[in-house]
Structure 1
Amino acid sequence: MRFLSLAAILMATTACTTTMDEPGKVPQVDPVSAMEKGAPIIAYPETRKGDVVETIHGVTLADPYRWLENDVREDAEVAAWVEAQNEVTDAFLDTLDGRAWFKARMTELYDYERIGVPTEKGGHYFYRKNDGLQPQSVLYVRHGLDGEEKVLIDPNLWAEDGATALAGYVPTEDGSKILYAIQDGGSDWRTIKVMDVATGRIHDDEVEWVKFSGMDWAKDGSGFYYSRFPAVEAEGKFTGLNENQAVYFHKLGTPQSADVKVFARPDRPDLNNIAQVSDDGRWLITTSSSGTDDRYEIALIDLEQPSAGPRVLIPGYDWNYSYVGNVGSDFYFITNEGAPRLKLVKMDIRQGTPEKVTIIAEDEATLDGVSMVGGKLIANYLVDAKSEIRVHALDGSLERKVELPGIGSADGFGGDMDDRQTFYSFSSFAQPATVYRYDIASGKSEVWAAPEVAFDPADYSTEQVFYTSKDGTRIPMFITRKKGVEGPVPTLLYGYGGFNISVTPGFNPVRLAWLDAGGAYAVANIRGGGEYGKAWHDAGRRFKKQNVFDDFAAAGEWLKANGVTTRDGLAIEGRSNGGLLVGASINQRPDLFDAGHAAVGVMDMLRFDRFTAGRYWVDDYNYPSKPEDFRYNLTYSPYHNIKAEIDYPAVLVTTADTDDRVVPGHSFKYVARLQEMAGPEDEPMLIRIETRAGHGSGKPTDKIIEEASDVAAFLAHFTGLSVPASE
């Protein structure tokens, strides 16, 4: 059964002196000119400064770029600013010799067949596959494991620009129908439809206003459960707060207006509410949460007696209880109650107040997930951020470990209790995902799908080191290089550090291109993530957020002190919460880092909770409405801590117009402030704004390559990475 988590569920200067004649009109300037040394001077577009000044909790702050929070699709002035910024950025990127080489190499590296882990239902095997450079992966089905594959859903036919994606799918128990979600332009909003597997016929059923939702069929295939928000007006669809999520049942063959609301909490509009059907089909398990922390209230609805209403099984919002599966009345949950690195417990729901019996006790390793397949419990552990798979009997006794190829990440192991096999994938920094079939009785793995790639994974090496942070905490870090690359080399350091999310080894053609150019790639497993369980997360959130930035700085210091990177050759990169990490790190340690890429970052730590999903993030980011929280956030907020006369490294910010997770206004305001403070000879402070794209998911392959090659060329230029000459 699925292991659900709701976590893992922010006055350009100027060389231009022209004034703005009217809102929505940005002066046209020559964006790049040459200095005597050949380095470009950036003539940034002029950015209007507003007069917003507020006193909050006794602190008076100006917010001159508040107007850049407006939706680019609805505000002509913001749209003109975006166009002008992209023109400046493109003109600068055109001067970089490495841009063409990175694009060519990344295109070559992406051009391999990628196959996902299959799901079996009713003898049908469903899986995604991308032939190589297809914008979106295609959903296939095989009738029998060795049967002929058939295209079931090809999202590449949905939009000319390839920006409409298949966001998820769930087959019925007999495999005769499939429920699938459509994502357009990178938005978090989803549209759900139903297809007949045998004929390919798309049913008339269509469900909208779905976001942050599970999807699950009734066991008899009569309909499905999903979560949705109330419909909103077009204006504000991509920026307004998401509240009043409720669980509905859609009966096949009926309009969405007839859907039945089966679970809601109108007394708590802030709650997220999702649901899944128990393994035996008897119960609907609802999971409610108020933020991004794994702190849930669990309720059960008896689908044989739905009029009885929900029964709260796990009250309050204190602990992580994530449903794994059930055998009759015995329900299995992963929990961190009394076990910071998690354990598996069993409860007999026939009891009024069920006893929580420990089945798999807490371990020194972190329990990252459990599945119930073939009468076994398959537990996925993180051992210093690397996967280790252990197979247990239902009583929790350890039977064996699954032999993995090395340092990497294993995912999958789905299925049902009567299955004799399951599937999983394994990948690492230089090893694309290979899919294995695992025989549950014998414990043997065999390759089911292995990619053919334009490189030899054996040409690269990964080591794990441990370094000491500012307060003495021991932090792990992976370092990957191409074999034969000697001495200090320009290095790209990546980090995340938040929301209990673990950063584990995984393959990315973008990173391999950096290695092929002669650089090194490092991943620091800093606090705030989930690599070592709840305590590791707690040590990097709310009033301990500064630990995250200290851990990242210590990683950079270690890389320079130990001869991995050159004196002026350390670039940093992060996405989303990692974009916040980059912004704060550049503000705090401009002397240490030599270039930065902040992608879709949260940059205004005083207003993040006012847009879309931002209100959930208070579990990690504090409550700006509270005086103490507000003042702490002000100490590191990237937008508010940019200062004049500081020699900042070169910065490239990337975001997208349809990002309705971290709204692009965060990045707009941050860059406007950077440009305002930049001197005429300072390094570039640029922003690249993608259209018809969102927070990252659903982005077509060609857009991924275009953006990644721009970023890599920028970071290579400012770290001294000598990119091979383009052919």
Structure 2
Amino acid sequence: MNYPETRRDDVVDTQFGEKVADPYRWLEADVRQDAKVADWVDRESRFTQAYLETLPQRAWFKQRISTLMDFERYGLPVKAGKRYFYTRNSGLQNQSQLFVRDGLNGKPRLLIDPNAWAKDGATALDAWEPSQQGRYVLYSVQDGGSDWRILHVMDATSGKVLDDELRWVKFSGLAWIGEEGFLYSRFPAPKEGAAFQSLNYNQAIYYHRLGTPQSADELVYATPKHQDYGHTAEVTQDGRLAVITTHVGTDSRYDVRVIDLSRRGKDGWAARPIVTGFKDDWRLVEGAGQKLWFVTNENAPRYRLVSIDLGASAPSFTEIVPQRDDILEKAGIVGRQLVLNYMRDAASHAEIVGLDGKQGRALALNGIGTASGFRGKPGDPETFYSFTSFNRPASIFRMNLDTGVSEPFAEPAMDFDPAEIAVEQRFYTSKDGTRVPMFLVRRKDVANAGKAVPTLLYGYGGFDISLTPGFSASRMAWVQAGGAFAMANLRGGGEYGRAWHDAGRRANKQNVFDDFIAAGEYLKKEGVATQDGLAIQGGSNGGLLVGAVLNQRPDLFAAGVPQVGVMDMLRFDRFTAGRYWVDDYGYPDREADFRVLRAYSPYHNIKAGTNYPAILVTTADTDDRVVPGHSFKYAAALQAAPLGDKPHLIRIETRAGHGSGKPTDKVIEESADVLSFVSQWTGLAVPK
């Protein structure tokens, strides 16, 4: 293909005695600031779009994905005082709206409609939190997919937006103290023109009192001697305690401090340490008075539930629910009981026990899927939860824990029968003998026929993140077209606790790639995927996964889609949040880590002279999580190398960021492009 011309510079670094070429470093510059990068993006985008528009499958996928997304969707309700707050999307709205009901059966009232904020629909309502009695709603606005947020406050009775506006907020919790103010986390304002690429340091927690300017906010907690520390705040439901959680990188290793808000007038923001040393994961469950409950993996790699009474003469943690074979993901206190969310082989199940951890009963869920929610308050038995699977969009249920009665709050109406879609879980063996789980989704008639079909394999494998069943309109469109969808639960994730994560990071990162390659080999060997019809897809750390595996086994795959990926493993720590990722990847400026990173970095290991699969790289010009320079450089290197006759293209979205907040119309367009590209090179024939 006659790709657009890309300038190649003579840039070479010497690291630990090795010369490392980086001819496309100039593409790291911010497209907003650099006219030459903007011109390259424009030429590549027009070239790719011209190709994608020729694909005969695109119209079918766009129509089918649109239809599959056109259903009423609800978010989990949050109860505050006598009010119920929840999001709703009528179907194809670019952004979900926020509604409130005065009482469970009250008339829904629209509070916030982000669809009116921007003509392109790319300004989103991000997080939101009602004040404790429901008088106000604190919410964050995300523009163009950026990680930066702007905070606003609305009067939930009148619908009036207050004058309060807070900026330079990122990776923050939203924690009300009564009805007068709240805690939030922010960074110092970046230098002019550096907001979307500069490293994030010196995050601090502030208290904002309603009706005052941001300049008057009180500093609550900061660590100026440790500019790399990050901090978030939570407040217990009774408003008695603020819990400050401090992290260093992406590892779930935290310090925890507590502020007694009842003594704020006397002690100020005095933060009392209760966990130090950055050794283990600590997830606040709830607090009542001076007592706190946590889910932790301290001395329990699969997690346990503990409590601590800060009013005791010598406070110490007491075990309430010991570690089990399954992973305890989270817990909540609702009424006078604990709701425990467990994960077994990457699928959810829930259990309800007393506050002493005894007298448990299981909560029945509808098959292999993911349950979430169970937010509530001590003393109030009402809670809401959702359940979703590959063949079932999220349904919302309201449950009374005292009676055990559960009833639907919102169930989507779909134009297909979930029973026609087969969802199964299989296990396969990786290169070193490790048993790895994988979900497999097909139409039942396809599964029953036992015939190999074009298959799309998805993976992530990193940062202690678990891939669990969930509904996706694009994946369902692929399956309805007759393809198979597989999702492998690779090492590096959190599916089996700390050991599973450790086995797939730093010096062990190759295990993740081996697991993914073994998944592809299994799908072909078992007659699920056709021999020339296997494609792979992954985003962010999963984009790195796809890029690395395409270099290592280009013969195994027909197509690859690395999305918003980390592709230059020698410079990832130099931009925005990249410095956090050293926990999973290691430090490029340390020789031992450099050797590992250099060996698999997608950008540095493209095998010229080898026939590569068809590749569609996707990114966004406004991504400030994994800056688009990663994908720009990788795509330029692919196009410059002799890699056979299949296309190696880059799709660059505008005002879409890393993924969150992306408007529905952009989701549909991108999904149609990706699936039509994949189907073209795997041989999937869409229905006529």
Q: TM-score, normalised by structure 1?
A: 0.93
Checking the alignment, whether the CA contact within 8 Å between 2:231 and 2:247 is kept in structure 1 is yes
CA displacement at 1:310 relative to structure 2: 1.4
Aligned residue number for residue 407 of structure 1: 368
Compute the displacement of 1:351 (Å).
4.2
Is 1:245–1:273's contact at 8 Å kept on the other side of the alignment? yes
Matched to 1:410, the amino acid is A
Amino acid at match of 1:191: I
Higher relative contact order (CA 8 A, sep 6+): 1
> Which of 240, 243, 260 does residue 218 from structure 2 map onto?
260
* Residue 353 of structure 1, CA deviation: 5.2
Provide the C-alpha distance between the structure 2 equivalents of 1:296 and 1:419, rounded to a whole number of angstroms.
30
Alignment check: 8 A CA contact 1:501 1:529 kept: yes
Which digits, 9 at most, give the CA deviation of each residue in 1:214-249, with x for residues without a partner? 01100x211010000000134111010000000000
After TM superposition, the structure 1 = structure 2 runs for residues 36-115 of structure 1, keeping only pairs within 5 Å, are 42-115=1-74
Map of 2:600 onto structure 1 = 636
Match of 1:342 among 298, 303, 317: 303
User: Aligned-pair distance for 1:591?
Assistant: 1.1
Shift of 1:678: 3.0
Deviating more after overlay: 60-69 vs 321-330: 321-330
Return the alpha-carbon distance in structure 1 between the equivalents of residues 288 and 381 of structure 2: 17
Partner of 1:170: 129
**Residues 490 and 512, structure 2, Cα contact 8 Å, conserved in 1:** yes
- The residue aligned with 1:710 is 673
Distance 2:102 2:283 in 1: 32
RMSD: 1.0
Counterpart Cα distance in 1 of 2:113 and 2:297: 40
Matches within 5 A, 1:330-369: 330-351=291-312, 354-369=315-330
Residue deviations 1:241-300, cap 9 Å, x none? 000000000000000000011100000000111111123312221111110000001111
Does 1:577 find its partner at 2:541? Answer: yes
Q: Which residue pairs with 1:5 in the alignment?
A: none
CA displacement, residues 33-64 of structure 1 (integer Å, 9 cap, x when unaligned)? xxxxxxxxx21011101121111122211100
For the residues of structure 1 that align with 2:645 and 2:574, how far apart are their CA atoms? 33
**Is the 8 Å Cα contact of residues 469 and 551 (structure 1) preserved in structure 2?**
yes
Question: Structure 1: how far apart are the matches of 2:239 and 2:95?
Answer: 33
1:699 aligns with 2:662: yes
Counterpart-to-counterpart distance in 1, 2:271 and 2:372: 33
Structure 1 Cα separation of the partners of residues 494 and 210 of structure 2 = 39
Give the C-alpha shift of residue 476 in structure 1.
0.5
Determine the structure 2 residue equivalent to 1:282: 240
| SS class of match (2:491) | coil
SS in 2 for 1:128: strand
C-alpha separation between the residues in 2 aligned to 1:421 and 1:460? 33
What aligned pairs does 1:660-671 form with structure 2 within 5 A after superposition? 660-671=624-635
Q: Classify the secondary structure of the residue corresponding to 1:288.
A: strand
Equivalent AA in structure 1 for residue 685 of structure 2: S
| Bigger Cα displacement from structure 2, 589-598 vs 326-335 | 326-335
Paired residues of 1:493 and 1:572 also in contact (CA < 8 A): yes
**Alignment partners' CA distance in 1, 2:553 and 2:135:** 57
Alpha-carbon shift at residue 699 of structure 1 (Å): 0.3
Give a deviation string over 1:624-673, Cα, whole Å, max 9, x none: 11111011111101001002101110100100011000000000011111
Q: Which residue of 1 aligns with 2:165?
A: 206
The aligned residue for residue 645 of structure 1 is: 609
Q: Give the C-alpha shift of residue 134 in structure 1.
A: 0.2
Distance in 2 (CA, whole Å) between partners of 1:669 and 1:443 is 56
1:467-510 Cα deviation digits (max 9, x unpaired): 00001110000100012113000000000100000000000001
Structure 2 residue identity aligned to 1:395: D
1:597–1:653 contact (8 Å) kept in structure 2: yes
Counterpart AA for 2:68: L
Contact 1:390 1:398 in 2 (8 A): no
Q: Which runs of 5+ in 1 are unaligned?
A: 1-41
SS in 1 for 2:234: strand
Determine if contact 1:229/1:246 at 8 Å carries over to the other structure.
yes
* Conserved 8 A contact 1:604-1:638: yes
Deviation, structure 1 residue 698: 0.3
1:663-704 CA deviation, whole Å, 9 max, x = no partner? 00000011111111135x521110000001100000000000
Deviations 1:38-91 (A, max 9, x none): xxxx21011101121111122211100000000001000100000111111111
The structural deviation recorded for 1:443 is 1.6
- 1:607 corresponds to: 571
In the alignment, the residues of structure 1 paired with residue 347 and residue 203 of structure 2 have an alpha-carbon distance, to the nearest angstrom, of: 35
2:249 match: 291
Paired AA for residue 579 in structure 1: G
What is the DSSP-based 3-state SS (H/G/I as helix, E as strand, rest coil) of the residue aligned with 1:652? Answer: strand
The partner residue of 1:626 within 585, 590, 607 is 590
Q: 1: distance between equivalents of 2:588 and 2:519? A: 29
Q: Which residue of 2 aligns with 1:6?
A: none
Q: Is this contact kept in 2: 1:334–1:370, CA < 8 A?
A: yes
Matches of 1:125 and 1:234 in 2, distance apart?
41
Contact 1:491 1:569 in 2 (8 A): yes
Deviation of the 1:146 alpha carbon: 1.1
Distance 1:156 1:288 in 2: 35
Indicate the SS of the match to 1:692. coil
Instruction: Please tell me the residue identity of whatever aligns with 2:289.
Output: G
Give the aligned partner of residue 520 of structure 2: 556
1:474 aligned to 2:435? yes
The structural deviation recorded for 1:392 is 1.1
The amino acid across from 2:566 in the alignment is V
- Contact 2:240/2:288 (<8 A) preserved: no
8 Å Cα contact 1:389/1:402 also seen in 2 = yes
TM-fit CA distance, 1:354: 2.6
Instruction: State the partner residue of 1:38.
Output: none
* Distance across 2 between alignment mates of 1:574 and 1:386: 20
Tell me the secondary structure at the aligned position of residue 377 of structure 2: coil
Per the alignment, residue 621 of structure 2 pairs with 657
Q: 2:309 is matched by which residue type in structure 1?
A: D
Q: Structure 1 counterpart of 2:357, which letter? A: G
Percent sequence identity over aligned pairs: 57
Letter in 2 for 1:718: W
The amino acid of 1:432's aligned partner reads P
Cα offset for 1:383?
0.7
Quote the offset at 1:352 in angstroms: 6.3
* Counterpart residue number, 1:598: 562
Structure 1 residues 442-453: aligned runs within 5 Å? 442-453=403-414
Partner of 1:430: 391
1: CA distance, partners of 2:147 / 2:663: 15
Q: Which amino acid aligns with 2:308?
A: M
State the SS of the aligned residue for 2:600.
Answer: coil
Q: Residue type of the partner of 2:676?
A: A
**Contact 2:132–2:237 (Cα < 8 Å) also in 1:** no
1:316-368 per-residue CA deviation (whole Å, 9 max, x = no partner) reads 11111111112322211111111101111111223465322111111100111
Q: Secondary structure at the match of 2:640?
A: helix
Where 1:568 maps in the other structure, the secondary structure is strand
CA distance in structure 2 between the aligned counterparts of 1:677 and 1:596, rounded to whole angstroms: 17
1:578-615 CA deviation, whole Å, 9 max, x = no partner? 00000001000111111000100000111100000000
Q: What is the match of residue 371 of structure 1?
A: 332
1:553 alignment partner, SS class: helix
In 2, distance between residues paired with 1:353 and 1:264? Answer: 27
Match of 1:421 in 2: 382
Within the candidate set 118, 135, 139, 1:159 is matched to 118
Report the Cα offset of residue 444 of structure 1: 2.4
> Do the aligned partners of residues 652 and 352 (structure 1) sit closer, same or farther apart at CA in structure 2, a change above 3 Å counting?
farther
Alignment of 1:416-565 (within 5 A): 416-485=377-446, 486=449, 487-565=451-529
| Paired residue type of 1:478 | F
Matched, 1:245 2:203: yes
Q: Provide the C-alpha distance between the structure 2 equivalents of 1:377 and 1:593, rounded to a whole number of angstroms.
A: 47
CA contact (8 A) 2:100 2:111 kept: yes
Partner Cα separation in structure 2 for residue 310 and residue 464 of structure 1: 46
Distance 1:429 1:398 in 2: 32
